[in-house]
Amino acid sequence: MSDITAAGTQDNWTCWLCDQPVDPDASVNSDLGPSVDTYASTKAKKGVMAVERLAHRGCNTMKGKISPVVRWSPDLFVIDPSPIFEAVERLRAKGGREIVARCPDERDAQQASEWLLDRLSRLAPDLKLVTQINPGGGQYVLALTLEQ
Ligand SMILES: [Zn+2]
């Protein structure tokens, strides 16, 4: 139980995968109850590290047996969106720049950028991430990089 409390406090009682609140008092046997999710994160200097996050029991990746999936908001206009979790893990391990989506116009790209930075502030609070929006091929390319 203390593990759940620690993960819950760290993640402000928000599920790290679906981004919805987790009720600390819900039964741990219910799909909406709190649980600790563990995954192996690749860190540039420290190698592979187990990270513990708060998840609904129904969202939990069961100790790394299933790759975490972080969904894009269905309200955004994004074309070819990249898997968010994998893009963030590559940035964490190697730095550089990840193209994460293309948008039909600049306003859509701006909205996607705002949503993504807000979502990443909870998904990867230890990383300082910034977005770049560049026109290309009649669309707007949204890229993610570490703040310099
Ligand atoms: Zn969840």
How close is the Cα of 16 to the center of ligand 1, in Å? 7
Ligand 1 centroid distance, CA of 82 (Å): 20
The torsion defined by the Cα of 14, 107, 113 and 104, in degrees rounded to 10, comes to 110
Q: State in Å: Cα 140 to ligand 1 middle.
A: 31
Q: How many CA atoms lie within 13 A of 49 on its CB side?
A: 12
Residue 22 alpha carbon to ligand 1 centre in Å: 7
| Pairs from 22-26 (Cβ < 8 Å, separation ≥ 24) | 22/54, 22/55, 22/56
Residue 4, pLDDT above cutoff 80: yes
Question: Is the model's pLDDT at 35 over the cut of 70?
Answer: yes
User: How far does the centroid of ligand 1 lie from the alpha carbon of residue 57, in Å?
Assistant: 7
| pLDDT > 70 in the chain, percent | 97
Distance 18 CA to ligand 1 centre (A): 4
Query: Predicted confidence band at 31 (pLDDT cuts at 50, 70, 90)?
Result: very high
